[in-house]
A and B are shown apart, each in its own frame.
Chain A
Amino acid sequence: MKNKILDNLPTLFVIMIVAFSFIMVFNHAYSETQDRVVLINSGKAGGSFNARTQMYKEGLVAAGYNVQFENVGKISQAVKMFKESDQPTVMVYANNQVYKQDLFHTESNFIIAEYQQPLYVCRTNTSKDKTGVLTVAHGKGYDPALLTNLLGDNITLVPYKNSGAMLKGILGGDVDMMVNNQGKSFKYIKSGQGTCEASDVLPTMVATVIGKNIDLQEIRKVIFDITMNLQFIEYHTSRKLVRPSSTWEQELALTQELEKGYAVK
């Protein structure tokens, strides 16, 4: 029995290679028949850009797309890649990036406005009774004039690299206040060290999806279905998803209007 198996080993080996080749050819042919789309992940782990891109990756694959996932993780690099792409390309984006990245929402790239989020102003419990100058952590891209208008002259603005660094700064006791996004502000509230309030003066962030070399209206329908899919319910809950139930034109107009708030004077 053992000898028989050994004698037939080369034949089995050839059969396995042929079968493997067939599977590979079939897979390749199958993927060629699907609609191909490049999905650029511009977000870092734990951030909303990353979470949203992962959601669209799963959704697009489930919708029958052949997704080429480009995990860039750095928004500047991702934008560069998006601008240079000659393939059907989709990327998660937001209106607070447009001036820095020099990539604005237009009729030729806008797909959907996914949700809106206000910026939050958080304050430590220990600084509640403080009367002197207050130190305020802010993202390096924020307009200092806008923050001074909102919070008064009796503040010292302390710039941080990003929202995560700001959160660490306020948790570490560096500053009395911070101006941060919803996700990090909610984390801060959970720490119990302070309180946060949504600002109605600071610009509103609109999370969007943009595309290139692709039928924008057709992909908009697919993207909309993905955001409404029940399997992403945890994502909806965690991000407080409130997608405006409006037309493409209205969403584009709103996004373009709100992105003006991020122009650094």
Chain B
Amino acid sequence: MNELIAVSTGLFAGTITGIVPGAGVMVAMIVATPLLMHFDIIQLLLFYMSLASMVQFTGTIPAVYLGVPGETNSLPAVIEGTKFNKRKMAKLAIGICAVGSVLGSLVAVAITYGLLSVLVEHMTVFFSNATKFYLYIFIIVFCLLVYNKKNILVNLLLCAGGFMLSVPGESDISPDFRYTFGIEDLQFGIPLIPVLIGFLIVPTIAKMFSASNSNVFLPNIDIGFCKVIKYFRKKLIASSLRGSIIGYLCGFVPGVSTVLSTNASYSFEKKLHPNNPGKLLVSSETANNSGQFASMLPLLLIGIPITGSEIVLYSMLVDAGWSPFQFDNVANNADMIFRQIVPWFVVANIVGLIVAWPLARKILNVFANSKKYMIVILAVGMLLLNTYLGILDYRVWLYTICLLVFSCIGLLIKKYETVPLIFMFILGNDMEGVFFRQMLI
């Protein structure tokens, strides 16, 4: 019964979190803290797993319909999903993503089961600087060659801009604060949320507003679920399997995990099928779910959290009495994963599939009938989210100023894809440390 409560609340929280653009698993965990304080260890793990899985399903809905990423790892879904929406095929996009996500999760479970002993032995390979170095090289090349109609100069400027934004504050390799210009709040760096809102969401809102007779919310062609399955089986299964495997491997990389999963898988598929939005979308979304499962394994097996939201979870697990000495026996932890976590993980994914499909239909109806209200709600919601997170971070003024500045710049460059900028901003600091260490090692 306790497990059911944890999974149900996790699924509910995941549904809401995925739909609210800009909100992520970490934000949901923080908001749900009063509830989670009463959960035991297994309940916390199940809540997190259900939340994180469900977000992967419902996060696709605003990505496809609104062009707004539900999570930072939904960026490929935004790029390819909106192409479906323009052709009034949003329901097909949601459907293939949901089916792909279930397949990705099941593949991840199967790989883990099959390779558990190898995985436990070689888990540390993913901690190596060299692994991260080559992955980052791959990401930079990908950013330069894929976005903005392969305009390398524009992509280079965006990458440089993103990196510059990541520089102020504390670096990973030196003890001093840099480029803070005497502003104490800048010692902790430029906050992420205003950057995401300013460079991604504000331009999207502007585009939605300026499109006088936008097809964004026009009723879509109705496609049955069986047809989606058939289409998926015939055309997309190979891309989905590729995405599952790439996503699974990238899921182990600390810090970037599912962001890397989706984008590495997306770029690999883009090389194979550059003009097939269906394959690109399914590949990245499948990788997302597969990577989500993989990213939890270092925490569950050896007690090392590798993503921001896992750090929050870890903190709660420790508060609930989770002893780090539990990780002395990896075999026991593996047994716990397969006995207590995996069955609920499968259930969570099936519920995700069942919920995402009809929910998308309902949300579509709401969007179609109230475009202006949705834009206002979206804008006000983002403003409130920014202020709320600013207060939580004790830097509300910096958050507000950053939001204003980045929104203005975001509007000025709204015709460009800003994904390279976001990527370099999120990864810049870590990338600098990894490159510096690679030169020394």
Contacts and interface: CB of A to CB of B under 8 A. Distances in A.
Given A173-B124, A238-B324, A45 B318 contact: yes
Contact of A172 (B125, B170, B175, B323): B125
A50 B318 CA distance: 9
Interface stretch (B81-89, B235-243, B288-296, B304-312): B304-312
B131 A172 contact: yes
Contacts of B303: 46
Interface residues of A, number: 37
B215 interface: no
B441 A158 contact: yes
B437 A46 contact: no
A38 interface: no
Interface string B109-142: 0000000000000001111111100000000000
B276 interface: no
Nearest to B303: A46
B400 interface: no
A234 interface: yes
Contacts of A77: 188, 393-394
Which 3 residue pairs spanning A and B have beta carbons closest together?
Answer: A45-B315, A172-B128, A172-B127
Contacts of B170: 76
| Chain A interface, >50% SS class | mixed
A171 interface: yes
Contacts of A225: none
A61 interface: no
A88 interface: no
A53 to B, nearest CB: 11
A72 B130 contact: no
Interface of A: 44-46, 50-51, 54, 72-74, 76-77, 80-81, 100, 135, 140-141, 156-161, 164-165, 168-169, 171-175, 187, 190, 234, 238, 264
Chain A CB count within 10 A is highest, among B127, B174, B303, B393, for B127
B318 A46 contact: yes
A159 B174 contact: yes
B279 to A, nearest CB: 33
A45 B394 contact: no
Contacts of A264: 175
A22 to B, nearest CB: 22
Given A173-B124, A174-B130, A140 B440 contact: no
Given A45-B311, A45-B317, A160-B173, 7 more contacts: A44-B315, A51-B318, A80-B184, A159-B174, A168-B124, A169-B127, A234-B323
